């Protein structure tokens, strides 16, 4: 659920190719002319799709089911009866039910100048709703489902049911929803600083400081730990920088629960599910088998932690061949204290804790273990990260730490409430990208 003013145009120099409009991109030829579409549960099916205009937005999202097939499969769910909706929606008092006209008025008739951004789900608008107690108006983000978009009714329903029931300081708050006829809308709290993705990778933004990055990592980790530790555990399944939103104080909150799944119950060790997510972030065992566990989220967290340390995207086809896959490139450096500094984000300009870097790198190393059982629990990740906030042994000794200087004011306008241009994954491509990652030692070394 990210929002940028127009990622398709503004990021053309530092982002790779993908289609917000929903067309599929051939990962190997980087072309939109013809695609081999793969349903990871059924094998490969050659599918010809018409060429569609595409934009510079990130080739690390690879859909493995055809756009049309996905739409066809969810047609029955996209127009449920009133009674069906009542059965599908979990009863809760945490969210408001809006009429379509109320949200139309809140966004000034969905005017173009109210647009915050768009993704596979649809368009996100800035809006103003009246407070329940009549105290005034509140700024919100209104996400409007594309009626023939990629995320469909079932993912809208997942968002309402999960975020409607769950409340935590590091989860984006769902204020309400609207469901009338074909219209599906979601109303969220407004996250003024947008997505972590844009702060890390947009050239027009000032760099996030080391302490701010660690605070963001801790906040996001707390969000995942809360989901995994709930009475009924939830597997997030789409943890990535574009789904981590920041408020005015740079507090990190998880958004976009369209792919979330209930965790395994009873004596089951995993959930078997169709492979969906974002290329470059998904755990290799999940992509290979469809077996989903909380440790799958831990792997994705390791990728995001690497992005925070290096300032690089999980996948970047503009880099040299050996550096395009971030995990593959950075993994050998994570346990080498002499070479570790070589992969640190140069935009930090030496303003990072040496010990903090080593601890964070070691943590990333274990989170990215090829053996899921060797990965730490998210609760342990949180405890490992907490001390990093207080380390002040800056690598650049000539610079002086100034209290309060860690929160850097963004030079951009509002950025993402989406990142939800999520694609299903190619088991073949992701396993190939990860096959050279060596297994790590036991995870309890992280806290050393």
Binding residues for ATP: 143
Question: What residues are paired with 18 via a beta bridge?
Answer: 55
Question: What residues are paired with 188 via a beta bridge?
Answer: 141, 174
Q: Is 107 helix (H, G, I), strand (E, B) or coil?
A: coil
Whose tokens are 């650049």? That residue is: 396
Sign of CA dihedral 353, 357, 363, 367: positive
Q: Is 387 helix (H, G, I), strand (E, B) or coil?
A: helix
The total of other beta-carbon atoms located within 10 Å of residue 204's CB is 12
Whose tokens are 């990208």? That residue is: 433
**Secondary structure letter of residue 12 according to DSSP:** T
159-186 burial: b if 16+ Cβ within 10 Å, else e: bbbbbbbbeeebbbbbbbbbbeeeebbb
For 268-298, give the secondary structure using H, E and C. Answer: CCCEECCCEECCCCCCHHHHHHCEECHHHHH
Q: At what angle do helices 294-310 and 354-367 cross, to 10 degrees?
A: 150
Q: Are 202 and 415 in contact (CB under 8 A)?
A: yes
Q: Are 340 and 330 in contact (CB under 8 A)?
A: no
Residue 15 has φ and ψ, to the nearest 5°, of -125, 155
What is the secondary structure of 309-324 as a DSSP string?
HH---SB-TTS-GGGS
Mark the binding-site residues, compressed into ranges.
143
**Secondary structure letter of residue 345 according to DSSP:** -
Q: Are 100 and 185 in contact (CB under 8 A)?
A: yes
**Secondary structure letter of residue 235 according to DSSP:** E
Q: Is 223 helix (H, G, I), strand (E, B) or coil?
A: helix
State how far the Cα of 361 lies from the Cα of 355, in Å rounded to an integer.
10
Catalytic residues: 238
Report residue 164 as tokens: 């409607």
Report residue 183 as tokens: 């219209």
Query: Residue 76: CB partners within 8 Å, gap ≥ 6?
Result: none
CA distances from 415 to 118, 173, 276, 352 (A): 11, 17, 25, 25
């Amino acid at each position: 659920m990210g929002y940028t003013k127009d990622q398709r145009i503004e990021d053309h120099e530092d982002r790779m190719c993908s289609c917000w409009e929903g067309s599929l991109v051939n990962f190997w030829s980087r072309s939109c002319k013809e695609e081999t579409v793969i349903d990871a549960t059924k094998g490969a099916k050659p599918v010809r799709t018409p060429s569609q205009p595409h934009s510079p937005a990130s080739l690390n999202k690879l859909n493995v089911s055809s756009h049309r097939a996905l739409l066809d499969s969810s047609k029955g769910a996209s127009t449920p009866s009133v009674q069906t909706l009542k059965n599908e929606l979990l009863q809760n008092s945490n969210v408001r039910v809006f009429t379509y006209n109320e949200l139309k008025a809140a966004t000034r008739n969905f005017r173009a100048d109210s647009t915050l951004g768009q993704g596979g789900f649809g368009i996100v608008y800035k809006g103003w709703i009246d407070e329940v107690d009549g105290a005034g108006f509140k700024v919100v983000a209104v996400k409007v489902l594309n009626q023939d978009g990629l995320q469909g009714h079932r993912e809208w329903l997942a968002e309402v049911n999960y975020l409607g029931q769950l409340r935590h300081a590091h989860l984006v708050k769902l204020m309400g929803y609207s469901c009338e006829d074909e219209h599906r809308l979601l109303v969220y709290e407004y996250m003024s600083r947008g997505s972590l993705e844009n702060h890390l990778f947009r050239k027009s933004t000032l760099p996030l400081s080391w302490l701010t990055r660690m605070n963001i990592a801790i906040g996001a980790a707390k969000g995942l730990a809360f989901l995994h530790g709930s009475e009924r555990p939830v597997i997030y399944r789409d943890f990535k920088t574009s789904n981590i939103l920041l408020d005015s104080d740079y507090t990190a909150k998880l958004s976009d629960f369209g792919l979330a799944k209930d965790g395994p119950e009873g004596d089951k060790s995993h959930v078997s599910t169709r492979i969906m997510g974002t290329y470059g972030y998904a755990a290799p065992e999940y992509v290979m088998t469809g077996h989903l566990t909380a440790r799958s989220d831990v792997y994705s967290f390791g990728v995001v932690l690497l992005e925070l340390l290096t300032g690089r995207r999980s996948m970047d086809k503009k880099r040299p061949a050996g550096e395009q896959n971030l995990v593959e490139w950075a993994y050998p450096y994570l346990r080498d204290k002499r070479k570790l500094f070589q992969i640190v984000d140069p935009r930090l300009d030496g303003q990072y804790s040496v010990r903090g870097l080593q601890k964070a790198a070691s943590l990333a190393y274990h989170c990215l273990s090829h053996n899921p059982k060797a990965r730490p629990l998210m609760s342990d990740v949180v405890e490992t990260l907490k001390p990093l906030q207080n380390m002040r042994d800056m690598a650049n000794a000539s610079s002086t730490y100034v209290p309060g200087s860690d929160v850097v004011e963004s030079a951009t306008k509002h950025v993402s409430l989406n990142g939800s241009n999520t694609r299903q994954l190619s088991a073949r491509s992701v396993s190939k990208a990860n096959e050279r990652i060596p297994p790590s030692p036991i995870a309890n070394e992280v806290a050393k």
